[in-house]
Structure 1
């Protein structure tokens, strides 16, 4: 019998590598990882077939998805080729190749939800456009929306380092004071979510097809997040709020999130993912394991 193949795009990133690990552990599919450089150390460490493709190379994309039953699509923000065109190139190739199911990492449309008040968060809006294109393609599909990556804490993203203090640690953030956002241990949880969708899309279509799942452990303010981190680290964590960054997409993202909910009425953790067998990791668990390791605590 021919193997069931699953193709994973951006396979060496946080989301793609999480999907690779979970799908390898599950064992249902033979994996095909897609990356720009198959000879990179990260690519060689994936433990599965690795193929090279860029989002602008339609021939390479077609080869990457040919023969695949399922595809996990992650697009790259702020690249030379827009995320809309990245997504369309992959979705068109999937349709032509007869791919049966596509899972897509998405974000809500900031422009649409805000009624045009916030127009610069293109890394949200373009993903939302790709999601609409996917849902209109005729391919069975589902979208997974992560929130604020907990991994960004130790990565010091957007000039927000996590630093040692005399009494504990300081969490620096650009989230607006009092703003509550979805917190996601993406590397831990994206993979199990993708594996659950890939292995159940045919048997639980009514629960999965064209649904948007919210991936996160809880909605929390930065102060609430710091309290959970402190539990895991066993040391106090204080918060320092930075002002606007002066980068329109980033500032619109945070201003929007302070004023609007991404998915009103959706419980976090998402009960629909729990029903599919996905158990997400907590902020405290993230701090006790991954964050401790990265900060040498």
Structure 2
């Protein structure tokens, strides 16, 4: 087993677990899975896969320091929580990583919605805080790369603030809080985050000029929700129609979705820079044919 350690924060979530699985499959690094509760069932499942599992809270600087000590690489995704702002979560990890001698950090980020909307949308702090944390990382002196994500495919797998996926007489409706014509980057996060991070971890020295300080966009397509629904329909073999459900009533989510057309305008999706590093993203149709179809088969 490799003696090179990669610390993965949020290891039991969609993003972190994707990274852990990809690290295990690749074998270059031994994953150190970090979660708030190291005794949870999901954490124990990671331990059964051969991961080192440690408990640490992103608001606890000493716990974070222990989690990154001895690691060569670190992956971080911050999470919205009222007691510890995402910016603070990020700076705690970045400061500890620099002090511990971590050589490379990958950060899961979002656009600063206040900035890209020219002040029109100001409540999507989960995006703003991540963007501010990213700037802090880039100024830290640590070798780094960030991965920007779009609307998750996985949103259709259950109730979510951005809309719903509902059964009809002969198919399904995809209800979203924005007009169906709204264009977005769409990301299969549980499939593609892991391979993208592993590609960066394994090539950050050999291809430093292509990687260091870059913000890569992880997405399968930049399409409208109407087009997204059409691709789901192909995979399911049943009609899927996108409809507007109207605002969710939770302003940060409504403003985040309203700003989606302005995310990463300068980047082609799929990102050709990730493709050059060997990352091939999954398609919407593939997601529907495999993950979504299996999920729906378990529902009444």
Q: TM-score range by the shorter chain?
A: over 0.9
CA distance in 1, matches of 2:81, 2:244: 25
CA distance in 2, matches of 1:28, 1:187: 20
Query: Aligned in 2, Cα 1:161/1:254: closer, same or farther, shift over 3 Å?
Result: closer
Task: Tell me the equivalent position of 1:144.
Answer: 147
Q: CA deviation at 1:11?
A: 0.2
The reply on whether 1:124 has 2:127 as its aligned counterpart is: yes
Runs of 4+ aligned residues of structure 1 deviating over 3 Å after TM superposition are none
Give 5+ residue unaligned stretches, structure 2: none
The aligned length equals 295
SS of residue paired to 2:259: helix
CA distance in 2, matches of 1:182, 1:2: 35
Task: Tell me the equivalent position of 1:296.
Answer: 297
Q: TM-score, normalised by structure 1?
A: 0.96
Contact 1:176 1:254 in 2 (8 A): no
Q: TM-score, normalised by structure 2?
A: 0.95
The reply on whether 1:278 has 2:279 as its aligned counterpart is: yes
- What CA deviation, in whole Å up to 9, does each residue of 1:39-58 have, x standing for no partner? 11111112211000001111
Task: Tell me the equivalent position of 1:254.
Answer: 257
The reply on whether 1:200 has 2:188 as its aligned counterpart is: no
Contact 1:75 1:87 in 2 (8 A): yes
Residue of 152, 155, 160 corresponding to 1:157: 160
CA distance in 1, matches of 2:167, 2:254: 27
Task: Tell me the equivalent position of 1:5.
Answer: 5
Give 5+ residue unaligned stretches, structure 1: none
Q: CA deviation at 1:239?
A: 1.9
- What CA deviation, in whole Å up to 9, does each residue of 1:71-124 have, x standing for no partner? 001101133100000000010000000000000000011111122221111011
Contact 1:217 1:280 in 2 (8 A): yes
CA distance in 1, matches of 2:238, 2:82: 39
